[in-house]
Amino acid sequence: MYDQFQEHLTNELAGIRDAGLYKSERAITTAQGAHVGVKGGAEVLNLCANNYLGLAQHPEVNAAAVQGLHDWGYGMASVRFICGTQTLHKELEEKISAFLGTEDTILYPSCFDANGGLFETLLGAEDAVISDELNHASIIDGVRLSKAQRYRYKNNDMADLEAQLQAADKAGARFKLITTDGVFSMDGYIARLDEICDLAERYQALVHFDDCHATGFVGAGGRGTHELRGCMDRVDIITGTLGKALGGASGGYTAARTEIVDLLRQRSRPYLFSNTVAPPVVAGAIRAIELVSEEPALREQLARNTAQFREGLERQGFELLPGEHPIVPVMLHDAALAARFAEAMLELGVYVVAFSYPVVPQGKARIRTQMSAALSSDDIEFALEAFGRARAAVGLS
């Protein structure tokens, strides 16, 4: 039987390669950071990590993780409700709640799991979920697992969101939940969360947002999109990650109202049937959250780097998606061209990745770059020079 299935898989993979959409994994030979070693090559400047605050190899985060390993062990070999909850896990959950301004928090192995276990637990067939069209795959998959009626609105379009809320009301929805990314990871666009809250209050809906690409550095105190938009006390559910700005290891969470978190602990399948987040990761994340408050200079450096990089690319005539977020998409539109551009950049000593369909829409291929507080001004200038040289190398006018 496998012979036929193997032929099917081989054809599928060949089609992916022929379309220029095959994703190869480049092995890194060093620790994560502003500069990394790549297998078969020299050290390169890294512009594609989610290491926004540079905490992935921060010495204090590393030291906290090592101490966590010493004090609490390597792993728990259990799910939370059996024998997998240490006081360390409760400490991290309390810190996240205090930082984000929520009543309680529940940890998951990843934010993908947090989103995957959210909608099915909270909503039934008589309810409705209204989702932004550009939401992350984890939200899309989580919504699919739910029996709730599904409505989709155009990206950041409040008029269309209102129309979908009205449609859900007309269909007789018992409860309505609006779900959005706080920051849309392919574009760097920030959700109009305050306006979403306005509509939610008008139509008696709940509000959920995934803030993976904001927690730690967006908003005056780094608390995220709800802080930036001035609606911290108006949202109901936040999902997020420890795998980006907050140390970059692994783990996710749902921070929400007490009863929501309590029900998730009882019924959310990714939580109930997944191992506990490893103690060294938890210990490192606790220190990372503390550093966000103790070292605002990290956010300031990230903002300076983002402004310098955007201004430099614009001077060279590159097409950028507008915004202030450290995600800086350089639009090339053609998938094959984007792939060649990324290879040219690597030869010039800069590690970037091309994104194309199905990760982004057809005709919207790009180089998605991400700034980090770990980058110096000289690093930014080096990257800008490489972009100019790569542009010539691939024949862009």
CA-nearest of 294, 302, 358, 293 to 53 is 302
CA distances from residue 382 to 165, 320, 379, 385 in whole angstroms, order as listed: 48, 19, 5, 5
The Cα–Cα gap between 102 and 106 comes to 11
List active site positions. Answer: 185, 213, 244
As annotated, the binding site for pyridoxal 5'-phosphate includes 111-112, 185, 241-244, 274-275
CA-nearest of 196, 207, 206 to 161 is 196
The Cα–Cα gap between 325 and 208 comes to 21
Q: Which two tokens stand for residue 105?
A: 């928090």
E strand or H helix at 346: helix 335-347
The answer to whether the beta carbons of residues 344 and 28 sit under 8 Å apart is: no
CA-nearest of 222, 219, 304 to 55 is 222
With a CB cutoff of 8 Å and minimum separation 6, the contacts of 221 are 227, 292, 293
As annotated, the binding site includes 111-112, 136, 185, 241-244, 274-275, 368
Q: Return the half-sphere exposure (C-beta side, CA atoms, 13 A cut-off) of residue 158.
A: 12
Q: CA geometry: angle at 127 spanning 122 and 129, to 5°?
A: 80
